[in-house]
Amino acid sequence: MFSQEQSDDYFESKGYILSLQNKKLSQSVYKEFVKASRFSTVTHLLVALGIMSFFRDNFFQHQFKIISIIGIIAVSSIRFIYSFQTQMEQSHWMRIFSVLLSLTSVLWAVFFTNLAVSSQSDMSLLLFSFLGPVALCAGSLLTMTLSRMNSLLFQTPMMVGLVISFGLIFGNTPSAHLGIFTVVIFWFHTSAAQENWNATWSKLQIYNTELQSIIDSIPGGLSVVKNGCYSKMNSYFKESLSFEERELKGCPIELLNTKSDFTKALILFSESDLIRSQREFILPTALGDRTHYVIFQKVDSADVSSKIIISTFDIEDLKNAQKDLELQRTKMEYNAKMASLGEMSSGLAHEINNPLAVISARAQILQGEFESGLFNKDKSIKSVETIMNMTYRISKIIKSLKLFARDTSTDSFEEASLTDIINETVSLCEIRSTKYEAHISKRGLDEDIRVECLPTQISQVLLNAFNNSFDAITTLKEKWIQIEVVDEGSKVRVEITDSGGGIPEAIQAKVMLPFFTTKEAGNGTGLGMSLSKGIIDSHRGEIFFDHQSKNTKLVVVLPKTQIEKVRLAQSA
């Protein structure tokens, strides 16, 4: 944090730099002040004309009144005409305006002084007639001066004029001395007030400049809509549309945003009670129609419905990148799925050929019996039953393969039997279990537990786990794999345990990472566990290794119902 001294030094240095770099900005502020003074100038004119009308019977009998009022009318007229000049940013025009303002104050002081003397007013009224114009001019000073030089330029003619008027009217008297002393004290007071105001103005100008820089550096469009038209915008917004600010200010939103859904959404938002809303829109830009993430935000003010801040962020490239990433992810999942099938492919032909050989043998027996006429009913029925069993066995394998290998990118969640998913996956693994002489046991499958899921993806997770178990227990004397299902109410827990000794502590944190594998080169992609984790995460579940178990145990926890469905049911 800055100390007070450091903060003052910071603003002092920034103020100095600002005064050098933003001279045109300061001059433009003068220009706005001059425009704003038109009302007060007209007021001076009307008051002066009113006084002339009020004192019309004896007005021309008093020389000072004539000079001061006519002078006020003349100077105010010049000020009013001057406020419409187009070159007010030049410094000499600012000095002219300073002199005109000072002349107005001096002339009013002369008029009120003469009025007080001619009406034989007491000293308090006389001093008030001195200080009144001074106070009015001081108020103008606090809103007009931007530098010490200009402050002196405003005040010096006014103060000198008052001192001279005191000397001419009262001469060398206590009243003149008191008036002059009061004017001098007030001059010092207004100088100090001006200096304080100047410091405050510099700080505010620094804040505004830095805030505008921050707004312009935002990597997105920022605009303010008032009563259906653009009133303010940042640099990004102007550049994205290739328009100048003067072309955009006051432009109705429907002229720039030809997409009716955007305009309708903005109108609905402005008429609603919402303070903030966001969604995606296709918006026109200099590069063509592009996808934007848009935020509507109402301004927190008394007239909250009239101003809306619109933030637009171009996400076209991000959306395209997401599509490419999703495509690559789909390809990666498919490759990993095929790799899992590849690990079992060596035994598939043998597993299918065996039943086919049995079917062929039984068919030949039946054919011989029919041809020889030595038909044995019991043997024939047994042969037919054997053929049917072998056919069922082959169809079961093919069904599991087709289910596992199919494209699931367009599938939606469905309620499925977890028991059926496990049984079909285990049937695919029977080939490897026979090859490695590994026993697969199942527990907790007596009850039909149903879960809302993508069945093929859950089957892939289980198959990846079985393949990892087969690879881990190949060299072990004791070879077994156990799958157990535990119903936990709203969730179901699936545990796949094998006879291995568990995951080594050194690699426990890496097993779920992409491309990490403990298999020999060429025998694994390193994607199985990372893809399994992605699948379970998409099901809003959990997958982890139970390192407290003495054997290798993979735990998968799945919700029976997906959370979106639960939320919809609760809202209904």
Task: Specify the amino acid at residue 132.
Answer: G
- DSSP per-residue codes, 495-521: EEEESS----GGGTTTTTSTT---SPT
The radius of gyration of the chain from alpha carbons, rounded to an integer in Å, stands at: 46
Three-state helix/strand/coil letters over 16-35: HHHHHHCHHHHHHHHHHHHH
- Do 24 and 56 belong to one domain? yes
- Any idea what the CATH number is for the domain that residue 305 is in? 3.30.450.20
- At residue 182, the pLDDT reads 60
- Any idea what the CATH number is for the domain that residue 382 is in? 3.30.565.10
- At residue 558, the pLDDT reads 94
- Do 438 and 513 belong to one domain? yes
- Report CA 532 to chain centroid distance, whole Å: 32
Task: List alpha helices for 314-417, DSSP H.
Answer: 316-372, 377-405
- Do 53 and 103 belong to one domain? yes
SS3 content of the chain, % helix, strand, coil (to 5): 65, 15, 20
- Do 434 and 478 belong to one domain? yes
According to DSSP, the residues that pair with 484 across neighbouring strands are: 443, 495
- Do 195 and 226 belong to one domain? no
- At residue 6, the pLDDT reads 43
Last-in-domain residue among 163, 192, 216: 216
For residue 185, give its domain range: 4-216
- Do 165 and 109 belong to one domain? yes
Residue 375 DSSP one-character state: -
- At residue 190, the pLDDT reads 60
Q: Determine the angle formed by the axes of helices 123-144 and 174-217, rounding to 10 degrees.
A: 20
How many structural domains does the chain have?
3
List the end-to-end C-alpha distance of the chain, in Å, as a whole number: 52
Q: Which long-range contacts (CB under 8 A, 24 or more apart) does 88-95 make?
A: 88/27, 88/30, 88/31, 88/34, 89/24, 89/27, 89/28, 89/30, 89/31, 90/27, 91/27, 94/27, 94/30, 94/150, 95/150, 95/153
**Angstrom distance (rounded) from CA 472 to CA 410:** 34
Question: From start to end of 196-267, where are the E strands?
Answer: 221-226, 229-233
- Do 197 and 223 belong to one domain? no
Taking alpha carbons only, the member of 107, 74, 82, 75 closest to residue 30 is 82
| Cα angle, residue 530 at apex, residues 525 and 531 outer, rounded to 5° | 85
Last-in-domain residue among 291, 314, 337: 314
Contact predicate 294/262, CB 8 Å: yes
- Do 401 and 256 belong to one domain? no
- Do 270 and 151 belong to one domain? no
Residues of the chain with pLDDT under 50: 1-26, 139, 141-146, 304, 521-522, 565-572
**Angstrom distance (rounded) from CA 372 to CA 388:** 24
- Do 262 and 146 belong to one domain? no
CA dihedral 532, 407, 566, 533 (to 10 degrees): 10
- Do 428 and 539 belong to one domain? yes
- Do 8 and 32 belong to one domain? yes
| Cβ burial, residue 228 (10 Å; 0-12/13-18/19+) | middle
Last-in-domain residue among 281, 314, 347: 314
Sequence-distant (6+) residues with CB within 8 A of 557 are 488, 491, 492, 493, 494, 541, 542, 543
